Amino acid sequence: MSKKILIVTDFYKPHKSGIITYIDQIIDSVKEREDSVTVLTTLHDNNLRKKELINGVEIIRCKPSLKFLRGFYSIELVIKFFVIYKKYNLINLHLPLTEILPIIFFTNKNNTILNYHCLPFFSLHLKIISLYFYLFGLISMFRSKEVITLSLDYFNKISLHKYFHKKINEIPPFIKKIKYYSKNNNKQNRLTIGYLGRISNEKGLEYLIKASNMLMKNNILHNLIIAGDTQDLRFKKYINNLKNISNQNTIFTGKLNEKQKEEFYKNIDIFVLPSINSFEAFGIVQLEAMSYGKPVIASNIKGVKSIVEKTKNGYIFKNKNPKDLYSKIILCKKKKFDSEIVKKNLILNYNKIKFDKSIQNLF
């Protein structure tokens, strides 16, 4: 018997993030069973429609009442939830969700599934916001039938979370398609290192640039390609600082479209995720790089490092340590990972069959 499922999330398409990619994978999985899905989210762009149908999925967008930092709080979303939630067999909440208060107190524990993506990190003077998400995350887990996390490695490090182990399900995302393409063999032994993602303070890109400077000092031919929005006003000062400390081998590409993104992955030899944010839970971009057969070097952060640990497709370096990152780049260069083995290891650990089985069992 098909179900009616309500997914509640602060952001949805056309906004792009790992959380949205994961939500779409859930939607595709439950729709294979002919369940109907409604997504209740915020109207983060006034050019979007408040209500529309996309590929059979009903999207309801609500105007934000309050904007702060990178997020919103929408009173309209809360009201809309109260109006419609009883029409659905199952409620799927995606944290972080600013409207979790008061929504969580009106859900039925027996039909609520919680996706705990991450605990947002805020600087010292905004710790009260982190505390808000932490406390209502705990309450939400208590009031949910099942909890999904992308990485137990990340989830269990957060205080008190391990006490919910009986209802925790580790269900990581997957890559839909492995990429096959002709290799470029005209590189003259020049190493190409890449990063793709948000260019912001918590990504630790200064340590990657410092490692590149060490490579240059030791006469190791290489290029460093940093792909991401260099016009983001929130991080303009940080981006300018990165450019000031970078060498002539560093290329800032700006935002990439899908075709450019594909060329980026094809042309790099190593992908590096140097994140310093201890609350970054997974790093789905690592799966994308591996789908092109590229090894990954990731910082030693719980959740982030779990992908490399499971696949053995690269190395883990000490957090905020450019010397160790430099040494891991040298190791990666010497080992010359076989791209087909990298892809095979990826599919073995992160595949659609495993994902669908786990999601459909819970939903």
From the centroid of its chain, how far is CA 80? 27
Phi, psi at 327, each rounded to 5° = -65, -35
User: Burial code of 79-109, b = ≥16 C-beta within 10 A, e = fewer?
Assistant: ebbeeebeebebbbbbbbbbbbeebbeebee
Q: pLDDT 10s per residue in the chain (363 long)? A: 789 999 999 999 998 888 999 999 999 999 999 899 999 999 988 899 999 999 999 999 999 998 876 788 999 999 999 999 999 999 999 999 999 999 999 999 999 999 999 988 766 667 888 899 999 999 999 999 999 999 999 999 999 998 999 999 999 999 888 888 776 655 568 999 999 999 999 999 999 999 999 999 999 999 999 999 999 988 999 999 999 999 999 999 999 999 999 999 999 999 999 999 877 889 999 999 999 999 999 999 999 999 999 999 999 999 999 999 999 999 999 998 999 999 999 999 999 999 999 999 999
| Among 298, 326, 292, residue whose Cα is nearest residue 312 | 298
Q: Residue 271 is encoded by which pair of tokens?
A: 């992908």
Q: What span, in angstroms and rounded, lies between the C-alpha atoms of 117 and 150?
A: 7
Q: What span, in angstroms and rounded, lies between the C-alpha atoms of 190 and 171?
A: 38
Bridge partners, residue 195, by sequence: 226
Q: At what angle do helices 236-245 and 205-217 cross, to 10 degrees?
A: 10
**Would residue 343 be called left, alpha or beta, if left means φ above 0 and alpha means ψ between -120 and 50 degrees?**
alpha
Instruction: Give how far Cα 150 sits from Cα of 132, 229, 280, Å.
Output: 21, 26, 11
